[in-house]
Structure formats: C-alpha cells, structure tokens
Amino acid sequence: MSNDWNRKIWLVLGPLLLAVSLVLPLPTWAEAVGNEETTTNPERSLPDTLPANLEWQSNDADPIFASPKAKRGGRFRSFITTFPLTLRLVGPDSNGSFASYMRANNLSLVGIHPNTLNPIPELATHWAFGEDGHSIYYRLDPDARWSDGTPVTADDYTFALEFMRSKYILAPWYNNYYSEIIKDVVKYDRHTIGILGAVAKPREEMLFEYSISPVPQHYHQLDEHWVRDYNWKIAPNTGPYRISDIRKGKYIEFKRKDDWWANDKRYFKHRFNPDYLKVKLIRDINIAYQYFRKGELDSFTLLMPRLWHKKAQGEIYDQGYVAKIKFYNDVPQPIAGLFLNEDAPPLGDRRVRYAIAHALNIDKVINTVLRGDYERLQTAHEGYGDYSNTQIRARQFDIDKANAYLDEAGWDQRGEDGIRVKDGQRLSIRVTYYSSGHNDRLVILAQEARKAGIELKLQLLDASAAFKQILENKHQAAWMAWSGGGLSPRYWEFYHSVNAHKPQTNNITNTDNPEMDRKIEAYRQASDKATRVRLAKELEQLVYEQGSHIPTFKVPYTREAFWRWLKLPEFYGTRTSDQLFSPLGSSGGLFWIDEDAKHEIETAKSEGEALPPLYIEDRRWAQGGQNSERDSLQEASQ
C-alpha cells in the first residue's frame, strides 16, 4: 500500500527516524536528475487494442493478515520531528517525514502480501503480462474511489504519465523516471490499462517495477503556478483516511472514511481501525518520550538502546500500564553508514576512504553505547535474498591498515595535535548528522579515528538543514541511512555517474565509475533473474571496492513500548512489519484501540492499582530461523 512498490517507502515516523541513523525514504527523498541511458527499441509501443491472448491473474487465496477481533474507533496519537513545508507529494520540499503518511494513504495497482510476498490486489483486481517482457496490463477495481467520491478510472493513469512528465511540477526525478523508465500508459477501456516499461524484466519484478499510482485528473490544473497553488491543498487520495484538520507548526489530523471503498476487500478487512490519526510536531525525541510517559502519545519506538535500556523503565512499566515488545522481522535492511562525498577533498582519494573505514571502530560502538543490541552491517544491500552478496565483509577497525593507506596517500606527517597534515592541510573530515541521539556513537568513532591521525568534526544540524546541505552536495561525510525495500537492490540512483557531480540526486557520494556504470546499465536491462543476481553481486563488490559507503549497523527487529489500550493481533505483526503500530502502509494498520481497556487503565493509574507487567518477544520471523514456528516469550515481570 505504497506509491510504486519499486520505490517502497518504509513508513518513516518521528521515532523511527532516529532508530538507526538518518533514515530517508528510498529513493523519493531526493529526486535524482539525469538522462537515464537505456538501449530500448524506440519503435516499441503498446498495441492499439488489448491483446486477446492475455492470461489474467489475481490472488484471493493468500491468508488474511489482520485480526477479526479488531475494533473501530478512538484517536491514535503519534509525532513527527519536522513540520511539512507542503502537502504536495512531488516538487520542491515534498519529501519530509510527513509525506510518508500521505504516500502510505494512497494505494498502488498491486500490493505485496506481507508474509508470503506474493502480489495481492489493491487498485487493480487482475494483471497480465505481455509476451515482450516490457508490457503489463491491469484491470482496475470498479469500486475504487477517490476521497471526494470520484471513481478511479484509466484516465487517472494516463493523466499520471502526463503529470509526472510535466515541467510544471518541478520534479526532475519524476520527469526522468516517467520518461525513460515508464515509456507509455494506454487506456483500453474505463477500467483497463497497459503500461510499457523501458527494459524487459523478470515477471515477479516487472509487476512492481512498472506499477504506478494514479493522479486525480479532475483535481489538478497543470500550469506555471501549480507548485504555489497546490502547496497546501489537500489532494484526493485512495486510502482509508483523509486530512481533516491542520494547525501549522502544531499538528495534522486524519479522519477515517466511514464509507471507504475498500473496507470489505479481502486484504483490507479489519485494518486501519482508529477513527483519527493525530500527528503532533515534537522536535526533540526526549521531549516526545515525556509526552509518551504522560499518556499523550500511544506508542513509542525504542530501537535506540539508550531508550530501551534506560528510559523505558519505571512506574508505567512496573505497574503494567505500558507494555514492551521486541518483534523480529525479515526485511531488507536500511543502507546505513557514513557516506563519503568523493567530490570533497581529500575524499576523492580511494586510499583515504579505505583508511577512514579502517579507523572507524564500529564494533566498539556496538558493544558499548549500543549494548550489543545492533549488528554490523556488512554491505549496502542486505536482506535481498539471492541478490545479496554475503561473501563481502565490511572493513574492520585496524589502525595499522589505516596508517598504511594514509602514508601511501602522502598523509605521512602529523601536527602537534596528532592529526595528519599534507601540503599544509589537516586531515579533517566534517561529518553531517541530525540526531542528537547519535552523539555518543559519533564521539566514540571520532576518538578512535584520532589514533590514525584523522579528525572527524561532528556537525549536528536540524533535519531540514541536513537535508539541504546533503542535497546541495555541500557535505563531506553524511551519517545517515536510506530505507530498504523492494524485491532487489537498486544501484542507478546511488552510483551511476549520470547522477554524480550535481545537486538534488541520490548519488550523494558522487560515485563516477565507468565499470560500475556499465554493469548498472546491464543490470537494469537484464530480463532474467539469474543474470540480475550475478550482476547485483558484482555491483556490490564494486561498491565495496569504491569505498565511499562505510556500512555501520543493522537492526533485524522492531522494539516498541505501548499503552495497553492498544491491541495487536495474536501474531503481533507480519514478516515485513518494520513497526507494529504503523497506522498505514502495506503491512500497517493492524492494531486497534480498546476504549474500555483505556478507561480501565486510566482508572487503575489514577487509583494506584497495579496490573501485571508485560514484555513480549517474538522470533517467528527472525532471519535464519524457521518462519513456520512461533517463538514468542511473554513475561509477567520485567
């Protein structure tokens, strides 16, 4: 239930932003500019009439993954750390954290079952593949409606192509993608469309690579004033909620649609249960936690060890009013780490990049500040099954190797403070980050790096300033993470030279490697899985050899605290649940609010009456475990 599965967005809520590092949607946070090279046949086109030999497919056989015990009602309260600058989903300033709510509140043509990973209907009831490997056809659900009651039709998909290609939206990434990758969209009748992709793909990938979301034709007026005129307009959507109240700089609230068209559809039953979603602006994570302790937020993500081990203690837990849960999932890991800008001296020298990698004592951070809770991320793309290159190991902390690389690169002199110098310049690297919760991690890394004569100057900015600096290529090193997702790794946005040496792209390392370019182009054009798997592993090796991304941490689970009026299904979550209390999204909306339990807990709290404490740990989807077995621990005491 996200806009375009190939750019699947992990629902990036305020608490989750601070979990691993600066987690950004992939790849819509930064709209890449570039003329994408393809070797497609310019004569290729969709047929004028719908092919008669199509084999239509659907899926109404996979298990339902919501609880029939769910109750509708209540107000779910969460927070974001930055207020949106616009309600537009494309164009300038459209990729803040709140945009994740709005994108997750729009359906795509097909979704992915969060346990089986099979395609399931969303806005389309059926799909079929063309014989050329480039084309795919969809039958739209005639029940589908925009939030203003207007039917969703094939015209909204042909308009989507026009809209995303328009110069008026000021969105070069979308302009490029819908010109070079999505080659055409054809209407065959009111509820049947065809989509032509630039290159042949394996079917299981093409279904999502070439799935697009509709744009309401009846709502938009495309002209030179579009960005300004639609900045704060509330666009119609296809999901279960609509924005009902906005207090700029304070909060935004959604209201559940009573007559949502998909209420009784198989994979949407018993989901998206609160009547209201209130998203409050709280700029500081520590202040947000105080709101939670007072019962003014309903749940709180506790991935950060200092939150889990230090803050998540005390009366509300001991008295049983708030529960804690640790739930293992099986999802692609965020691409977390330190991203080195090769255009910023001295990081253009590969030897310097290798030296920095060997000077970062990641294991010390894991074993001290992170209390052993996190694991070392070995490559950029973990959790993609056959596509992941499990033979690669991240460069380990080794001062001798760091020294050798730096000496070879000419940084063989040290100043009085121990920092290396070359041609009068100190070996000082500015590290841009935005979460004060990462101070302890970065201080340790900076202290350890000094042993190799490297100074890491830590630059803490607010999120908006960090985004701006990185997007404009004014950073030296960025401490952050891109969210994972999709069926296979993506390389073009991050590593192709067409996106290097310019602002507003996802190639924030400014990687420019001709060999990598050739393999990326071959990877994008390959139509069989075996070839794509081979190329993905070769590309991952090249990413490792480039050395501009230093992998840091991965977290194969979610940890959350919640007031016990929030209820979860008996299985708690799904294979792909990155947050159990995500109110929206492809695997979200499974919890509900029990108003009777809320009254009882609030009464017990006011009267000092204790309830049995509750801690839950569920490993059924732990990577490397047996998915068919449930290993769940519930303890009556902490």
- In the chain, the domains with their CATH numbers are 241-330+558-635 (3.40.190.10), 335-554 (3.10.105.10)
Express each pLDDT in 51-66 by its tens digit.
999 999 999 999 999 9
Residues 185 and 591: their CA atoms lie apart, in Å, by 37
Give me the pLDDT at residue 90, please: 95
Structure tokens at 152: 């969703």
Give me the pLDDT at residue 12, please: 29
Structure tokens at 103: 């994108």
- DSSP state, residue 258: T
Q: Specify whether the CB–CB gap between 245 and 254 falls below 8 A.
A: no
Give me the pLDDT at residue 467, please: 85
Q: Specify whether the CB–CB gap between 551 and 377 falls below 8 A.
A: yes
- pLDDT at position 484 over 80: no
CA distances from 602 to 63, 156, 317, 596 (A): 36, 47, 14, 10
β-bridge mates for residue 197, sequence order: 182
Q: What average pLDDT does the segment 57-82 reach?
A: 97
Q: What average pLDDT does the segment 594-598 reach?
A: 97
Q: Which residue has the higher pLDDT, 97 or 594?
A: 594
Express each pLDDT in 23-43 by its tens digit.
554 433 333 333 333 444 456
Phi, psi for 292 (deg, rounded to 5): -65, -45
Residues 384 and 540: their CA atoms lie apart, in Å, by 12
**pTM, entire model:** 0.79
Residues 304 and 326: their CA atoms lie apart, in Å, by 12
Give the rounded percent of residues in the chain with a pLDDT score beyond 90: 80
- Residue 93: helix, strand or coil by DSSP? coil
Maximum mean pLDDT: which of 40-44, 159-163, 281-285, 633-637:
159-163
Instruction: Give the H/E segment covering residue 401.
Output: helix 399-408
Q: What average pLDDT does the segment 267-277 reach?
A: 98
- On the question of a cis peptide bond just before residue 27, with omega within 30 degrees of 0, the verdict is yes
Express each pLDDT in 86-145 by its tens digit.
999 999 999 888 999 999 999 999 999 999 989 999 999 999 999 888 999 999 999 999
Express each pLDDT in 221-255 by its tens digit.
999 999 999 999 999 999 999 999 999 999 999 99
Q: What average pLDDT does the segment 519-548 reach?
A: 94
Give me the pLDDT at residue 144, please: 98
Give me the pLDDT at residue 21, please: 38
Give me the pLDDT at residue 13, please: 28
Query: What b/e readout covers 572-592, taking b as 16+ CB neighbours within 10 angstroms?
Result: bbbbbbbbbbbbbbbbbbbbb
- DSSP state, residue 57: B
E strands along 423-506, which residues?
A: 425-426, 428-433, 455-460, 477-482
* Cα–Cα nearest to 150, from 238, 67, 60, 89: 238
Structure tokens at 318: 């001991």
- Residue 618: helix, strand or coil by DSSP? strand
Give me the pLDDT at residue 638, please: 32
Long-range contacts (CB closer than 8 Å, 24 or more residues apart) made by 4-7: 4/108, 4/208, 4/211, 4/212, 4/213, 5/108, 5/110, 5/111, 5/112, 5/207, 5/208, 5/211, 5/486, 5/487, 6/208, 6/209, 6/210, 6/211, 6/486, 6/490, 7/485, 7/486
Q: Specify whether the CB–CB gap between 636 and 613 falls below 8 A.
A: yes
- pLDDT at position 70 over 90: yes
- pLDDT at position 283 over 60: yes
Count of CB atoms situated within 10 Å of the CB of 357: 26
Give me the pLDDT at residue 23, please: 52
In the 3-class helix/strand/coil scheme, how is 137-193 assigned residue by residue?
Answer: EEEECCCCECCCCCECCHHHHHHHHHHHHCHHHCCHHHHHHHHHHEEEEEEEECCEE
Express each pLDDT in 119-132 by its tens digit.
999 999 999 999 88
Phi, psi for 103 (deg, rounded to 5): -65, -40
- pLDDT at position 329 over 60: yes
**CA-CA-CA-CA torsion sign (374, 375, 381, 386):** negative
pLDDT classification of 381: cutoffs 50, 70, 90:
very high
Q: Which residue has the higher pLDDT, 326 or 624?
A: 326
Give me the pLDDT at residue 7, please: 33
Mean pLDDT score across all residues of the chain: 90
Give me the pLDDT at residue 43, please: 62
Give me the pLDDT at residue 199, please: 80
Q: Which residue has the higher pLDDT, 528 or 47?
A: 47
